Every structure is written in structure tokens, then in C-alpha cells.
A and B are shown apart, each in its own frame.
Chain A
Amino acid sequence: MATASTTLTSSAAQRPLGHMLRIYLKEAKYEFLKNLRLRAYSVSTIFFPVMFYILFGLVLGRNTIGGLSTSAYLIATYSTFGVMGASLFGTAAALAAERGLGWLQVKRASPMPPFAYFAGKVIMSMIFSTTVVMLLLLLGFTFGGVHMGLSQTAQLVATLVVGSLPFCTMGLAIGYFAGPNSAPATINMIYLPLSFCSGLWVPLMFLPKLMRDFARFLPPYHLSQLALGIVGAGRHESNWTHWEYLIGFSVLCLGVARFGFQRDEGKMYG
């Protein structure tokens, strides 16, 4: 059968590494710009954790929690809350809408490497996560009398940003199963109760014992405990346990997201 593969110039199958890197950077850059200009994302991602922190950590919080100033304690929990929001909305909301309304198909018809699409969303979410944590730290340092060394600060930021990955994977999993328009509502139905039950709004010690015990099964609890450990108010459990939980949870979510991805790809040719 005389197809034209021989008569037309054939192109390189493999992209050089430099080109690959450029695609990933552009994907992340434009994903960031897109969400920065999308007030529903950028404003609410930053606004809610900052507002809660100002209200409960700075304005109302005169006491100490577990021997630590409220303003320091709540930096850890509201940062976790903020990181989780930035990650879930940054991945799930966009993925569900773009999948459901045809945009992802336009991108899949192009030679975009599929992984770049997901990486772009994760990197974008991490930039917002970093911003939220830095803002809360800045507020705590300037108005809350919080003192932290440089290495402690860096450790906190790094932990929270790396610890946002499980929530990015969770977002991808949700994005594959939520409807294009209902995704934000679906995310909130998961995000808000999960935050509360993990002690991100009200410290766990003020919650009933049943809830304190239940919190151990929730991923945000483990990230907040890692963060609290760094500011000096952890429950003195092993950090490894927390990381193990978070890694296990990520693997689970990746499995679900992969299932969704393959379900979509399975409809494709080849």
C-alpha cells in the first residue's frame, strides 16, 4: 500500500532534552499565568488562609496552644490548609473542566507530551502553595511576634511544599471523576470537612477524643503534624510515620488518577 511515509520527510521521533525542558517550562508558566489571572483561583487560594490566620492567629489569638504562641501554632495549621486548597483547586478544578469541555482533547491532538500537562498543573500549584506559606510567615513575623531561624523557616516551607504533592495527586484523581462544572463544589465537599477533621481550623486538642483519634487517618493531619513539629508543637510522633502516610496516600491517588487517565486514553487509537 503506497502510503507517503517514504516520500515525505520523516522527522525525529525523540525530542532533544532541551526541547522537552522548554515544553515543561512553558506549560508551567502559562498554567501559572492562567490561574493568576483567574480570580476564582488566585484570590480565594490566598485570601481564605490569610484571612483565617489574621482573624484567629493575630486578632483573636492572645493565648498559647500547647505551650506555643497561637500565632506560631496557627501558621503551621493554616499553611497546611492553604497548601491543600492551592493544590486541590489548582489541579482538580482545571483538569475536570478541561477534560469535560474539550480543551484537553485539543491539547492531546497536538504533540504535547501528556506528562507535561500534569506537571504544569503541579508546578503551578506548588508556586501558589509557596506563596501562601510565605505570606503567613511574613504576617506572623511582623504582627504575631513569631521568631524562627532561617533554617527553621526554610524547613517549614520545604516540608509544606513537598507535602503538597499528595494533595496534587488527590486533585488529579478528583479531576478525572468530577464533572466539568461541578468540580469546585465537589472539591469543597472534600476539602472543608477534611480540613476541619484534621485540626486545621480548630486545634485538635480542643476537639473531642473521637475526632482526635479519627484525625490520624487523614492525610492533612499528617502534613500539619510535620509542620507543627517544625514550629515546636508536634504531638511527638515519628516524622517517618507521617511521611509514610503521605506517601501511601499519594500512591493511592496516583493509582486512581492513572485509572482515569487510561480510561480516557483507552478510547484513543493504538
Chain B
Amino acid sequence: MIATLPESSARERATGAPVVARLHGVSKNYGEIKALRQVDFNIHAGELVALLGPNGAGKTTAVKLFLGLAKPNQGTVSVFGGNPVHPEVRVRTGAMLQVSRVPETLRVREHIDLFSSYYPEPLPISETLSIAGLETIKDRLFGDLSGGQRQRVLFALALCGDPDLLFLDEPTVGLDVEARRVLWEQIRKLVARGKSVLLTTHYLEEADALADRIVVIHQGAIIAEGTPSEIKAQTAGKKIRCVTRLELDAVRRLPGVLEVHQDREALEIHTAVAEPIIRELLARDASLSGIEVTSAGLEEAFLALTRDDNGKTAA
């Protein structure tokens, strides 16, 4: 098993390694809709960047621009120093896109054989099958596969040409926990082989588990960027969950409490430091129960970052 890289190494990669792909001052409109606004975004050699954002944030649009499947209204896109539509660039990239229908009457190994043939130096088919965990189902028709297996085939098509740079647009969408972890492991293996990967996701946990660097995108603009721990550091540190008789408003007025909300029978309290608040709570309510203290995950970081100026959390 390959462990996630230590933070220092991640930072090094993010800043020191050469840029392999770049969006420079890119805006993309679909009619009235501004899908991307003035986005600057680099992918460095050997790093795994997660592009994190809610539905409609512009993640797929960014991926399409990198793949030359969409044209920016403003700004430039360059991949390996060239135009992404050029065949010499395309043989060095691989992509996993969201697709509504894949031809169902071809076998797994046939799909892979065909896509491998497009590349000058593809991986041996047996190796592609093994990386994507498809050996046992290689002779099945695509139409007979489960959702998770289908995702793995699309993943295999992205990597079969042994490209240097991979774009994975929501690779684990619709997968159960187990299947997601399997795919994560496979993505980590790619990075361990020295590939650069851009992955989009709404799963905050996923970005945290995989990425060297997280770029948070919201309504077409990049709102935060950094290592997972840097992103987390931008918001409150701890989350306290407890069941108490105290009024929500009373708790909110306690010093050090950043935010409180009711979650079913319990209260969820966000704060920088947990201990003084817990002490205070126990002093005021001896019947306090069910105390849980967790680090604020990316979930909280993300909610805080995507908060509109007027204080409401954006969809």
C-alpha cells in the first residue's frame, strides 16, 4: 500500500516542480452563464491536485478546457507548453469524463485495446487491467457491468496510454464506500508512478485523502488554494457535538464559540479551541452528555469558504 505523501513533500511538489498545464486568466461563458471567471490555475509535474466545489461550480468546465474540448472566451490554456487539441499533447494526457452512455456491446478488454491503440507507447493491456482491478471481468460486456465496474473501465481508458497527465472528473461519483476506497488506492498508485493528476470532486473527504493540493472553486472563481491542512487552517479548528439542556442562543453567546447549530437532538459547536468551552458547558449544565470533539474537516472548511458575504451558506 502506498501511503499519502507527507505534507512537506506535497508543498515542495506544488511550488518547486515545473508546470505541466496552465489556465491563465481564463473565462468561459455559456451564453449568459459565467462558468469560469478569470481563473488562473496550474498543475505541476507529479502532483495530485483536487479541484473541489459544489454542483455547477465550474469543475467540469475547467477539465474540458484543459482537454481542449471547450474554448475559453478569454485567457489561454496550455498543456505541456502547447495547445491541448494537438495530437502530440493528447498522447500525453488521459481523461476520465462523465459520460451518459458507453457502447455496451464491447468487452472490457476490447474497449481498452482500442484506446491503447491510439497511443504510441501504451501500457500492456494486462497491466492496465491489473492497475484498474479489472482482470476478473475483462471478458464481460460493458453493458453487463455494475456502476463501480463501469467507473473502473473509464478509469482504465484514461490510464491505458501511460500518459503523463490525467484528468479525472468525479471519478468516484456513485460508488459505495468500498469501491471508492479501491479507486483511491488505484489513483495513489498512479501518482506514485510519477503521474500528474487533476481530480474533481464534491467529496471533501476525497480531496483530503488524496490531494497534495486542493483548489476550491465556487461559482466559477477560485476561492481558496493550498495543502489540505492549509485549507483546514483557514477555518475554525474543532467541532464539539453534545446533548444539552442549554438554549442555543445561550451557547452562542459563550466566549470562543464561532458558530452553533442544532443537529437533531444535539448541538454542534464550532470553535478554535475546545477545552475552555467544554469546561464552561459542564459548569452550566451538569446533565451534558454525548460529548464528541472532532477536528474541523474539509467539510467545515468548505462551508466556511463558500459562505457568501451576507453570511448565508451558498448552495
Binding site for B on A (CB under 8 A): 1-8, 10-13, 15, 19, 22-23, 26-27, 30, 33-35, 37-38, 97-98, 101-103, 105-106, 108-113, 180, 266-270
Binds A, one of B3-11, B78-86, B229-237, B280-288: B78-86
A5 → chain B, closest Cβ, in Å? 3
Q: Is the CB of B101 within 8 A of A268?
A: no
26 contacts between A and B (CB under 8 A): A3-B20, A4-B18, A4-B81, A8-B92, A11-B91, A12-B88, A13-B87, A33-B106, A33-B110, A34-B103, A35-B105, A37-B141, A97-B101, A102-B97, A102-B99, A102-B101, A105-B97, A106-B97, A106-B154, A109-B67, A109-B90, A111-B91, A111-B119, A267-B69, A269-B72, A270-B83
Closest residue of chain B to A7 (Cβ to Cβ) is B18
B207 within 8 A of A: no
- In Å, the complex CA distance between A110 and B120 comes to 12
B304 → chain A, closest Cβ, in Å? 33
Closest residue of chain A to B119 (Cβ to Cβ) is A111
| CB-defined contacts of B212 to chain A, threshold 8 Å | none
Option from B77, B102, B114, B118 in Cβ contact (under 8 Å) with A103: B102
A168 → chain B, closest Cβ, in Å? 19
- In Å, the complex CA distance between A267 and B69 comes to 7
| CB-defined contacts of B85 to chain A, threshold 8 Å | 268-270
| CB-defined contacts of A37 to chain B, threshold 8 Å | 105-106, 141
Q: Is the CB of B20 within 8 A of A8?
A: yes
Q: Is the CB of A22 within 8 A of B103?
A: no
Q: Is the CB of B87 within 8 A of A26?
A: no
Q: Is the CB of A268 within 8 A of B98?
A: no
- In Å, the complex CA distance between A34 and B110 comes to 10
Q: Is the CB of B97 within 8 A of A269?
A: no
B170 within 8 A of A: no
| CB-defined contacts of A4 to chain B, threshold 8 Å | 18-20, 45, 80-81
Q: Is the CB of A268 within 8 A of B71?
A: yes
- In Å, the complex CA distance between A21 and B265 comes to 67
B68 within 8 A of A: yes
B62 → chain A, closest Cβ, in Å? 12
Option from B22, B71, B113, B157 in Cβ contact (under 8 Å) with A26: B113
| Residues of B within 8 A of A (CB-CB), count | 52
Question: Which 9 A-B residue pairings sit nearest by Cβ, starting from the closest?
Answer: A5-B81, A4-B18, A102-B99, A37-B105, A111-B90, A101-B101, A3-B81, A270-B85, A101-B100
B115 within 8 A of A: yes
Q: Is the CB of B65 within 8 A of A269?
A: yes
Q: Is the CB of B118 within 8 A of A23?
A: yes
Closest residue of chain B to A112 (Cβ to Cβ) is B118
B161 within 8 A of A: yes
| CB-defined contacts of B92 to chain A, threshold 8 Å | 8, 11
- In Å, the complex CA distance between A10 and B85 comes to 16
Best-surrounded residue of B20, B88, B105 (most CB of chain A within 10 A) = B105
B101 → chain A, closest Cβ, in Å? 4
B164 within 8 A of A: yes
Q: Is the CB of B98 within 8 A of A102?
A: yes
| CB-defined contacts of B101 to chain A, threshold 8 Å | 97-98, 101-103, 180
A268 → chain B, closest Cβ, in Å? 6
Per-residue contact bits, chain B 1-37, to A (CB 8 Å; 1 contact, 0 not)? 0000000000000000011101000000000000000
Q: Is the CB of A11 within 8 A of B88?
A: yes
B254 within 8 A of A: no
| CB-defined contacts of A270 to chain B, threshold 8 Å | 68, 71, 83-86
- In Å, the complex CA distance between A211 and B100 comes to 44
Q: Is the CB of A106 within 8 A of B70?
A: no
* Besides A101-B100, A110-B90, 6 new A-B residue pairs in contact (Cβ under 8 A), listed by A number: A12-B88, A34-B106, A97-B101, A102-B100, A106-B102, A111-B161
Q: Is the CB of A38 within 8 A of B105?
A: yes
Q: Is the CB of B84 within 8 A of A30?
A: no
Q: Is the CB of A8 within 8 A of B88?
A: no
Closest residue of chain A to B24 (Cβ to Cβ) is A1
- In Å, the complex CA distance between A2 and B101 comes to 39
Option from A8, A34, A106, A109 in Cβ contact (under 8 Å) with B105: A34
B262 within 8 A of A: no
| CB-defined contacts of A7 to chain B, threshold 8 Å | 18, 45
Closest residue of chain A to B91 (Cβ to Cβ) is A111
A3 and B68 contact, Cβ closer than 8 Å, known pairs A11-B88, A27-B114, A101-B99: no
Q: Is the CB of A268 within 8 A of B118?
A: no
A107 → chain B, closest Cβ, in Å? 8
Closest residue of chain B to A264 (Cβ to Cβ) is B69
Option from B77, B88, B114, B164 in Cβ contact (under 8 Å) with A269: B77
A114 → chain B, closest Cβ, in Å? 10
Q: Is the CB of B161 within 8 A of A110?
A: yes
Q: Is the CB of A268 within 8 A of B70?
A: yes
Q: Is the CB of A30 within 8 A of B70?
A: no
A66 → chain B, closest Cβ, in Å? 42
A111 → chain B, closest Cβ, in Å? 4
| CB-defined contacts of B191 to chain A, threshold 8 Å | none
B207 → chain A, closest Cβ, in Å? 23
